[in-house]
Every structure is written in C-alpha cells, then in structure tokens.
Amino acid sequence: MLNKISEILNEISAYSTQKHDELESFRLKYLSKKGIISELFEDFRNIPPLEKREIGQKLNILKEKALEKYNSLKSDLPETAPISDSSDLSKPSFPFPTGSRHPISIVRKEIIEIFNRIGFVVSEGPEIEDDNHVFTKLNFAPEHPARDMQDTFYVSRISAEDSSPEDILLRTHTSSVQVRVMEGQKPPIRTISPGRVFRNEAISARAHCIFHQVEGLYIDTNVSFADLKQTLLYFAREMFGKDTEIRLRPSYFPFTEPSAEMDVSCRICGGKGCNVCKYTGWLEILGCGMVHPNVLEACNIDSKEYTGFAFGMGIERLTMLKYRVNDLRLYFENDLRFLEQFRTSF
C-alpha cells in the first residue's frame, strides 16, 4: 500500500496539462468518487490496525496533493467558456449580427415618403381581385389582350371563352386599389397604392411573375397634365437627385387619355450614354396619363366636374436603377450575401 501511494504521488506531482478536457480526465482518474484515491480509502478499511496510523497519514497527504495539483492546474488553464449540456454550439457568438431591410422595402418606403410630403396618402387593397376592379372599370375592352390567360393568373372564371366582371384573379396592377378608392370616396382624392402584383411571365433576369408597384391617383377640379408633369418632376428629383431631368413620351393605356411613359436622365452616365441606358442617356421608369372619363364615370365621379391624373411604377425596376442590381431573381432568393449589402438606419 505504501509503495502504491508513493507511486501515485510521483505520478501526480509530475503531471501537467493546459487543456480543459485533460484536466477533467485527471479529476475523474484521481479525485472522483470512483477514482483511484477513493478506491485506496476503501482498501484502507482492511489494513491491520498497527499500520493504520502511518498509511492513514500518507493517504490524507496524497488526497491533499492531488487536490492542490488539480486546483493549481485549473487556475492556470487558458480562458474558455465551460462546455456544458446547456450550451448551444451552433449559436452565433457576440456581437450578434442584426438583420437588414430588403432593398424592395427600402425603396418602397422612400417612394411613399416622397409622395407623403406632397399630400398623397397610402391606400391598400386585396391581392385577389375581381375582373371588374382590375380591368372592366378601368376601361379595358372585353377582348383586351391584358386579360388573356398569358398575362393573368385566374383563380376562377365564369366562362372559359369570355372574360366576365365576376372572374376572380390575382391583380396584375395596383390600379385596382384606386378603383376601390374612387368608388368609396368623393374628390379631392390624392392617394398612392403600393403593393404586390402578379403576371403570368416566365422568370428571367428581367421579368418575374411577382413584383411590386406604387401607383398614384390625383382627382380634383381643374387637374391638368401640367400638374402631372410637375408632380413627377418633383418625384424624380427627390428620388434620383436634383439635377435629374425627365421626358414624357406618348404611350397608350386603356385607363388614361392622353397617356405617356416617363424617362429620367441616366444617373449612371449623367445622360452621356452608357450600357445601362443603352447609350440613349434615358431610363424608362413609369407609365402615366390623365384618367380616362370612362373610368371616372364607372366609379360614379362626374367627369364634367372633375379631372385627374394617374401614374404607376415598378419598385423592382427603380431598385435596379438605384442599386444597379442586374438580375430580378436576386430579390426573391433570400441569399444573405445579397441582402446584407443593404444596411439602413431605419
């Protein structure tokens, strides 16, 4: 027994480690309830009484030395968090990364704030709509190609051949919200409707079947095309910088007459021509026009007393121009490497 004790004593005094797991093995081997030293105390019971005194003293010294060793090695260990069952090793460590806003949300908020400043209020409406609000009341002729299955996702149709105002579909533009506003409110009306829209298009870098719009509507007495132009010039300069120029090109929409498309001077080359503006110096950003009298009448607004203008833009497109994103699909893929690039203070 004495030999064994001195052997273990040597082992312990020679022992050294700087690793948490090795020190834990040391504790288990010598100091735990089932460890070597406990075992020796067990055996001590069978020692003849005459030897008990000496062996007892040596055993106590051994236990003390082992504890001392353990404590001194432990205090010298490098700092690391203790590993316990309650630790989640997959948890991100401090400082915890915060999320960032989606670029579409950032630009949507910016557009809304610009129009808020000149008195436009936000209105929202359903994404699942009827033909009446998306097409019929907006002066789309029954055979208009935009109602076609190729563009519109139908939820249910009354007849397979002809479209009917009761058909249920996913809205293809947020002009439908403006119809609802006109139905429920008397002029003056000054509203913008941001929201998600759906068109049955093949997904590519330049097209997607889901995208976001902000459409605007202003109806009052004596609203003129000059008011439309000035409002859009204000918007373009707030959005893209005070040197921005706009131009309006004649266009066609069933719900506006006259209609136009608006270009802004290319902010990348300053109008000199580059591959983003296809060397024209201009970028198309929205459609607009004076609200067609048929639309006003369909919504019970007297077209002799009131006139109005409307406009509509795609948020994805504006975001592409603002941040020079070259593939629409990036907005929908939730790739953190893309999303993390859009840090904002709000």
Interacting residue with ligand PHE among 12, 299, 310, 325 (CB under 6 A): 310
Interacting residue with ligand PHE among 140, 253, 306, 331 (CB under 6 A): 253
Q: Tell me how far apart the alpha carbons of residues 60 and 44 are, in angstroms, rounded to a whole number.
A: 11
- Residue 195 in contact with ligand PHE, rule: CB under 6 A: no
Burial, 345: exposed, middle or buried (Cβ in 10 Å; 0-12, 13-18, 19+)? exposed
- Residue 130 in contact with ligand PHE, rule: CB under 6 A: no
Cβ–Cβ under 8 Å, residues 295 and 138: yes
- Residue 256 in contact with ligand PHE, rule: CB under 6 A: yes
Nearer to ligand PHE, 173 or 208 (CB): 173
Sheet with 128-130, strands from edge to edge, namely 128-130, 168-170, 154-156
What is the closest distance, in whole angstroms, from the C-beta atom of residue 281 to ligand PHE in the complex? 23
Interface segment toward ligand PHE; rule CB under 6 A; list 9-17, 108-116, 184-192, 307-315: 307-315
Nearer to ligand PHE, 62 or 228 (CB): 228
Interacting residue with ligand PHE among 219, 311, 320, 331 (CB under 6 A): 311
- Residue 152 in contact with ligand PHE, rule: CB under 6 A: no
Interface segment toward ligand PHE; rule CB under 6 A; list 6-14, 96-104, 295-303, 304-312: 304-312
Nearer to ligand PHE, 15 or 234 (CB): 234
Q: Tell me how far apart the alpha carbons of residues 279 and 162 are, in angstroms, rounded to a whole number.
A: 43
**What is the Cα 225 distance to its own chain's centre?**
37
- Residue 215 in contact with ligand PHE, rule: CB under 6 A: yes
Q: Report DSSP letters for 135-154, one per residue.
A: TGGGT--TT-GGGSTTT--E
Nearer to ligand PHE, 178 or 265 (CB): 178
Using omega within 30 degrees of 0 as the cis cutoff, is the peptide bond preceding 97 cis?
no
- Residue 308 in contact with ligand PHE, rule: CB under 6 A: no
Nearer to ligand PHE, 105 or 251 (CB): 251
Interacting residue with ligand PHE among 123, 136, 152, 175 (CB under 6 A): 175
DSSP collapsed to 3 states, 213-248: EEEEEEEECCCCHHHHHHHHHHHHHHHHCCCCCEEE
Size of the site for ligand PHE (CB under 6 A): 11
- Residue 288 in contact with ligand PHE, rule: CB under 6 A: yes
How far is the CA of 292 from the CAs of 39, 77, 81, 258, 262, in angstroms?
99, 81, 71, 8, 18
What is the closest distance, in whole angstroms, from the C-beta atom of residue 278 to ligand PHE in the complex? 21
Burial 32-69 (b: 16+ CB within 10 A, else e): eeeebbeebeeeeeeeeeeeeeebeebbeebbebbeeb
Q: Tell me how far apart the alpha carbons of residues 179 and 174 are, in angstroms, rounded to a whole number.
A: 9
Interacting residue with ligand PHE among 103, 187, 195, 312 (CB under 6 A): 312
- Residue 194 in contact with ligand PHE, rule: CB under 6 A: no
Nearer to ligand PHE, 103 or 312 (CB): 312
Q: Tell me how far apart the alpha carbons of residues 84 and 6 are, in angstroms, rounded to a whole number.
A: 35
- Residue 331 in contact with ligand PHE, rule: CB under 6 A: no
Secondary-structure percent of the chain, ordered helix, strand, coil, rounded to 5: 40, 20, 40
Q: Tell me how far apart the alpha carbons of residues 277 and 147 are, in angstroms, rounded to a whole number.
A: 31
Q: Tell me how far apart the alpha carbons of residues 155 and 265 are, in angstroms, rounded to a whole number.
A: 40
Site string for ligand PHE, 83-122 (x = CB under 6 A): ----------------------------------------
Interface segment toward ligand PHE; rule CB under 6 A; list 112-120, 220-228, 268-276, 283-291: 283-291
Binding stretches for ligand PHE (CB under 6 A): 173, 175, 215, 253, 256, 287-289, 310-312
